Structure 1
Amino acid sequence: MKRRLWFTMAFAGLCLGASAAGDALRFNAENYTLKSLQMPDGEMVSYKAYEGIYYVKNVEDSTYQTLNLYVPFGVKDTDSVPILLRTYVGGYMASTAKTPSATDATGRALKEGYVVCIPGSRGANSVVKRNGEEVYTGIAPNGLLDLKAAVRYLHYNDEVMPGDANRIFTDGTSAGGAMSALLGATGNGKDYEPYLEKMGAAPARDEVFAAICYCPITDLEHADCEYEWLYSCTNDGIRGLDESQKAVSEELAALCPDYLRSLNLTTPSGEKLTADNYRNYLKNLLMASMQRALQEGAEIPDSIGVVFYQEKQDFMGAGPRRSRPSGERRFPEGLDGREAPSFGPAGRPPRMELHTDFVADLNLDRYLTYVASVTPLKTPPAFDQEGVLVETASPENKVFGNAQGESANFTIFSLQRRTKDSNAVLDEELRHRIYLMNPMNFIGGDSQTTLAGHWYIRHGARDRDTSFLVPVNLATKLQNTGVEVDFALPWNRPHTGDYNLDDLFAWMKRVAEGK
């Protein structure tokens, strides 16, 4: 149960009452306005809106370093309800503290009785004037530091504000999904302490209870080689790379097996996961997604590489009239379809027909060609592109740049090609900032961080904004540490987030209640 210190505050001049009076980071429970939000079903949700709250003492950029807090009407300060912290970071750009939306998880959370926190944060495009000069304030890891400071604000004020800071769910999509993963993986990390202290963040913990990550664009220093290793099968076909692009793709792809080996990942069956068996591992995850979609009424054409077989049920559903062909199985090994997301027509029950299709196999190269046919693939390098085949800086090049607005390469591969120096290396300060922006560095091993105990990770089955390897590696490494991970590649989903909210909030309710 959430503890309260109102009895202490009642004594003017005593410890908490005296210190809170001059504390710029103390939450003011009286400073709110009443607002309401109309949900898609017409229901009106009323809530208290606490907006424009600074979460650090040393504010560098007042446009972004604030948070908004929304409390469903009727929730008391003493109520121990979960908190949804939703970041709207995209493309590693800055994001202001926004208001709840009826069409995403923020509105649904208010309807479910959750407290909602929406922090702003600096990003690659945030700029302030200092001594007449433009200063870029959102270079890595500043955006993450802002979000961690917002989490600290919630913990610091846990005794005097609505919501339970011990049950914070973070939620983000794309680069925001990466930020959610970082918040989940780096709780109380000592590497971040000097930065947060300098910012004037609250002296409190910054771990979170659970991380919700939609299509996280993360593991940036390895994302290029993972992209080319997976999609190289399309280079001479639908991707249509020219000779110089193919050469870069092949060089990058060759780096991937060593990286996969270095992760020391194991499958649920205990098999070491390497480049030799990875494609089959990924194929099984995609087949499970397809099987779940079939059960819920989706139509999947066999032209995209999927192989079906049918079982005939008698009228009373007594079972198949013929046995399955030798070697085929109903679900991929180690999966039964339940780990895949609920997808297809909303609320539609599984099909009840005399002929039931099952996914027997998948031609992965053909399927990847299908993915590339829906949305053209990125050209190599997909992320650290500046100075390799084009001079244009990616958002990631900008976020790893400097306060003067100069972008930077963040992989040795791209740095050496841009500088045409095979001995070029990233400087120590930049390497440290890159390290702080990768959740994979803080999961397992001897990491001194507090890892979130619950993870909900989704990456659409036709999302090509990063390689499937990125979310699969993240989920697998988390599973290998023993934390709870609900992971799937939702069938036919593009690069989006906050979908299947019924599934999401059923999961949130279950883990929040410890079930």
Structure 2
Amino acid sequence: MNMKTGLLLFMAISGTVSRTSAQTTDPLRFDPENYTVQTLQMPDGSSVSYKAYEGIHYVTNVEDPAYQTLNLYVPETLEAGTAVPILLRTYVGGYMASTAKTPSATDATGRALSEGYVVCIPGSRGSNSVVSENGKDIYTGIAPNGLLDLKAAVRYLHYNDDVMPGDADRIFTDGTSAGGAMSALLGATGNCPEYAPYLERMGAAPGRDDVFASICYCPITDLDHADSEYEWLYGCTNDGVRGLDSAQKRISSELAAQCPAYLESLNLTTPDGEKLTADNYREYLKKLLMASAHKALEAGAEIPDSIGIVFYQEKRLPVSGHLPEGMAPRPGHPQNGRPQNGRPEMLDGRGAPSFGPGGGAPRFNNRTDFVADIDLDVYLAYVASVTPLKTPPAFDAWGVLGSPASPENKVFGNEQGEPANFTDFSLRQHSQDGDAAIDPALQQRIYLMNPMNFIGASDSTLAGHWFIRHGARDRDTSFLVPINLATKLQNTGADVDFALPWNRPHSGDYNLDELFEWIKRTASAR
């Protein structure tokens, strides 16, 4: 019997720990008896009954009671003391506030309960959370407060691990868009001392705030570099489908020019050992998109050639009969690469870099046409034609060419609700002051909201496992953002399963079979 099981059984038998005594002696102690039983109907017609522990404050100095609570859901069949994974699902979107929600049968929360896992859904403050003090509105969700709330919720789980169902050593965070960024931040900043003073002032539980694994769908992150990455990638559409005017083209070009130096500074290395720079990045992106297309073809998808995808059968072998550069025949095939059916096959490794089962090169068979190349400019124009691109700057937009504040401008603003620029470039454009720069206090807040600053840091506990997805036609941020995140994590030694799912827009918690196969495999491999 482990210590956790023994303590829970002792409490159940002796009855020495009651709801009243637990709350009186320590307001952050979990009360295992304060729950209701609820039922969730699943899409397949089955139902899941669970214990619902709701409205739990995870800090003692509650500034905004509408958001600073968490809900915990435990399958009713889960035996006391059983150490199962905890799925921590944040519903943050657009860096706005999110209440502690209930499980949904159509996303990962309901699926986790049906799999026998514990589910934690914390609320958190955001750019639109407001309280009234002495007749004045105080905006409570300025950065990094939303992240601090989520870290406090993680601390609560660790602090109560001895009396709470689930295993706090196997917390899987899950979020989409800005929530994906928060999931990445939770995974990258575990136990980082730079957050400790904030958490102490909030009255967060003492102890750890690291997580076991991070699930990040289309993370809107690396905000202080995302504008330049967006323009560097999508600048090829400025004269076409994007239709920018001359002033917007100037902003786009100036931002794009910043990107190569940033990529160089990251010092990223591809799985093949090649340094990733602006010179080879487009080819690297093409490989990842080609792998996504291959996987979709294997699943029976139809992909038109009008969107820049070049299929092998459209290319003719040279007179010599040799395969194009980068292709090789399989063992046993003629050296000219022509199998009996007349179509050469690709070796694994010719497709995507190895980013785990979700992003690895797919299997091929003679019944599936495969992609030989991608005209990236044509493909990016297709992406922009499906969902119009953001105008430059995509994120730090406030005041640039008269643009209103973005959600990100608001989250980096002040407690009076006034937005703020968070890049020197946009601040200079806004203020018309060529020497303008972000003040140090704000710069520190910006720093704390970028997981790229903490991956590999000696004073942070990095989550060991990562599941990162960004749709192959998601234009809400540049493809560079999730690719850089995944590559830096892999370079640091983390276990990373990364892919750009074909034809997927900006969304999350899809293909739950794939996700929960990964969760099972990862949880058992600890």
Coarse TM-score class (shorter-chain normalised): over 0.9
Alpha-carbon distance between aligned partners in 2 of 1:301 and 1:157, rounded to the nearest angstrom? 54
Within-5 A mapping of 1:95-494: 95-310=98-313, 320-321=339-340, 332-333=350-351, 335=353, 339-340=357-358, 355-444=367-456, 446-494=457-505
SS in 2 for 1:261: helix
Equivalent in 23, 27, 37 of residue 24 of structure 1: 27
Once the 2 structures are TM-superposed, how far is the Cα of residue 132 of structure 1 from its aligned partner?
Answer: 1.5
Is contact 1:287-1:361 (8 Å) kept? yes
Is contact 2:56-2:71 (8 Å) kept? yes
Counterpart position of 2:57: 54
Alpha-carbon distance between aligned partners in 2 of 1:199 and 1:50, rounded to the nearest angstrom? 22
Describe the shift of the 1:351–1:230 C-alpha distance in structure 2 as closer, same or farther (beyond 3 A).
closer
Describe the shift of the 1:168–1:337 C-alpha distance in structure 2 as closer, same or farther (beyond 3 A).
closer
**Paired letter, 2:236:** C
Is contact 2:216-2:468 (8 Å) kept? yes
Counterpart position of 2:507: 496
Structure 2, unaligned runs of 5 or more: 315-337
Alpha-carbon distance between aligned partners in 1 of 2:487 and 2:265, rounded to the nearest angstrom? 14
Describe the shift of the 1:241–1:23 C-alpha distance in structure 2 as closer, same or farther (beyond 3 A).
same
Alpha-carbon distance between aligned partners in 2 of 1:86 and 1:253, rounded to the nearest angstrom? 35
Once the 2 structures are TM-superposed, how far is the Cα of residue 447 of structure 1 from its aligned partner?
Answer: 3.7
Describe the shift of the 1:388–1:507 C-alpha distance in structure 2 as closer, same or farther (beyond 3 A).
same
Describe the shift of the 1:336–1:440 C-alpha distance in structure 2 as closer, same or farther (beyond 3 A).
closer
**Paired letter, 1:233:** C
**Paired letter, 1:380:** P
C-alpha distance after superposition, 1:170-229 (max 9, x if no partner): 000000000000000000010000000000000020000000000000000000000000
Once the 2 structures are TM-superposed, how far is the Cα of residue 131 of structure 1 from its aligned partner?
Answer: 1.6
**Paired letter, 2:368:** T
Once the 2 structures are TM-superposed, how far is the Cα of residue 436 of structure 1 from its aligned partner?
Answer: 0.3
Matched residue pairs, number? Answer: 499
Is contact 1:289-1:491 (8 Å) kept? yes
Is contact 1:213-1:456 (8 Å) kept? yes
Is contact 2:58-2:153 (8 Å) kept? yes
Alpha-carbon distance between aligned partners in 1 of 2:353 and 2:182, rounded to the nearest angstrom? 29
State the TM-score, normalizing by the size of structure 2: 0.90
Is contact 1:93-1:122 (8 Å) kept? yes
Counterpart position of 1:72: 75
Once the 2 structures are TM-superposed, how far is the Cα of residue 307 of structure 1 from its aligned partner?
Answer: 1.0
Describe the shift of the 1:110–1:8 C-alpha distance in structure 2 as closer, same or farther (beyond 3 A).
closer
Identity of aligned residues (%): 72
Once the 2 structures are TM-superposed, how far is the Cα of residue 390 of structure 1 from its aligned partner?
Answer: 2.4
Describe the shift of the 1:294–1:470 C-alpha distance in structure 2 as closer, same or farther (beyond 3 A).
same
Deviates more, 1:75-84 or 1:188-197: 75-84
Alpha-carbon distance between aligned partners in 2 of 1:13 and 1:72, rounded to the nearest angstrom? 25
SS in 2 for 1:68: strand
**Paired letter, 2:163:** V
Alpha-carbon distance between aligned partners in 1 of 2:134 and 2:509, rounded to the nearest angstrom? 42
Alpha-carbon distance between aligned partners in 2 of 1:355 and 1:7, rounded to the nearest angstrom? 59
Is contact 1:85-1:171 (8 Å) kept? yes
Once the 2 structures are TM-superposed, how far is the Cα of residue 117 of structure 1 from its aligned partner?
Answer: 0.2
Counterpart position of 2:524: 513
Once the 2 structures are TM-superposed, how far is the Cα of residue 333 of structure 1 from its aligned partner?
Answer: 4.5
**Paired letter, 2:93:** G
Alpha-carbon distance between aligned partners in 2 of 1:355 and 1:164, rounded to the nearest angstrom? 46
Alpha-carbon distance between aligned partners in 2 of 1:308 and 1:339, rounded to the nearest angstrom? 24
Once the 2 structures are TM-superposed, how far is the Cα of residue 45 of structure 1 from its aligned partner?
Answer: 0.5
SS in 2 for 1:495: coil
**Paired letter, 1:492:** N
Is contact 1:56-1:201 (8 Å) kept? yes
Is contact 1:288-1:331 (8 Å) kept? no
Counterpart position of 1:314: none
Is contact 1:310-1:355 (8 Å) kept? no
Alpha-carbon distance between aligned partners in 2 of 1:41 and 1:47, rounded to the nearest angstrom? 18
Alpha-carbon distance between aligned partners in 2 of 1:30 and 1:272, rounded to the nearest angstrom? 55
Describe the shift of the 1:24–1:245 C-alpha distance in structure 2 as closer, same or farther (beyond 3 A).
same
**Paired letter, 2:62:** V
Counterpart position of 1:3: 3
Deviates more, 1:388-397 or 1:150-159: 388-397
Alpha-carbon distance between aligned partners in 2 of 1:205 and 1:306, rounded to the nearest angstrom? 48
Structure 1, unaligned runs of 5 or more: 312-318, 343-348
Is contact 1:121-1:146 (8 Å) kept? yes
Describe the shift of the 1:267–1:72 C-alpha distance in structure 2 as closer, same or farther (beyond 3 A).
same
C-alpha distance after superposition, 1:225-261 (max 9, x if no partner): 0000000000000000000000000000000000000
Once the 2 structures are TM-superposed, how far is the Cα of residue 121 of structure 1 from its aligned partner?
Answer: 0.1
SS in 2 for 1:392: coil
State the TM-score, normalizing by the size of structure 1: 0.92
Describe the shift of the 1:61–1:288 C-alpha distance in structure 2 as closer, same or farther (beyond 3 A).
same
**Paired letter, 2:461:** T
Q: Deviating runs (4+, > 2 A) in structure 1?
A: 1-14, 17-21, 322-326, 328-342, 349-352
Once the 2 structures are TM-superposed, how far is the Cα of residue 351 of structure 1 from its aligned partner?
Answer: 9.7
Counterpart position of 2:321: none
Is contact 1:288-1:337 (8 Å) kept? no
Is contact 1:289-1:337 (8 Å) kept? no
SS in 2 for 1:356: coil
SS in 1 for 2:393: coil
Describe the shift of the 1:203–1:182 C-alpha distance in structure 2 as closer, same or farther (beyond 3 A).
same
SS in 2 for 1:389: helix
**Paired letter, 1:175:** A
SS in 1 for 2:504: coil
Once the 2 structures are TM-superposed, how far is the Cα of residue 422 of structure 1 from its aligned partner?
Answer: 1.0
Is contact 2:309-2:373 (8 Å) kept? yes
Is contact 2:270-2:353 (8 Å) kept? no
Once the 2 structures are TM-superposed, how far is the Cα of residue 389 of structure 1 from its aligned partner?
Answer: 1.4
Describe the shift of the 1:421–1:28 C-alpha distance in structure 2 as closer, same or farther (beyond 3 A).
same
- Give the RMSD, CA atoms, in angstroms: 2.5
**Paired letter, 1:102:** A
Alpha-carbon distance between aligned partners in 1 of 2:431 and 2:210, rounded to the nearest angstrom? 40
**Paired letter, 1:261:** E
